[in-house]
A = this chain, B = another copy of it.
Amino acid sequence: MKRDNSRHINSYKRLGKNIADRRKFLKISQEELAFRISSTRNYIGCIERGEKFPSIAVIFDIAKALNIQPKDFFEGT
């Protein structure tokens, strides 16, 4: 069943902010994070702003790339 992501827009925005905060804490650029998960800087930017809705697999990949537990990205969502 297709889910309506727009219902969760604030949760996705918070998820994106949590990712951005962790990335900046490690002083890693969007380009570098994109490289580590075989993606693009533009896609990372969209996720961090809550404009794209990543899959859980992407979240697992980003968590590994930023050396953090996936659950920490869901804080406050």
Interface residues in chain A, defined as those with a beta carbon under 8 Å from any beta carbon in chain B: 1, 3-5, 7-8, 11-12, 15, 38-39, 43, 53-61, 69-75, 77
Contact = CB atoms under 8 A, between A and B. Distances in A.
Given A1-B38, A15-B56, A56-B56, 16 more contacts: A3-B55, A3-B61, A8-B56, A8-B57, A12-B56, A55-B55, A55-B56, A69-B74, A70-B74, A70-B77, A71-B71, A71-B72, A71-B73, A71-B75, A71-B77, A74-B74
A71 B59 CA distance: 12
Q: How many copies does the complex hold?
A: 2
Contact of A56 (B38, B39, B43, B53): B53
A55 B53 contact: yes
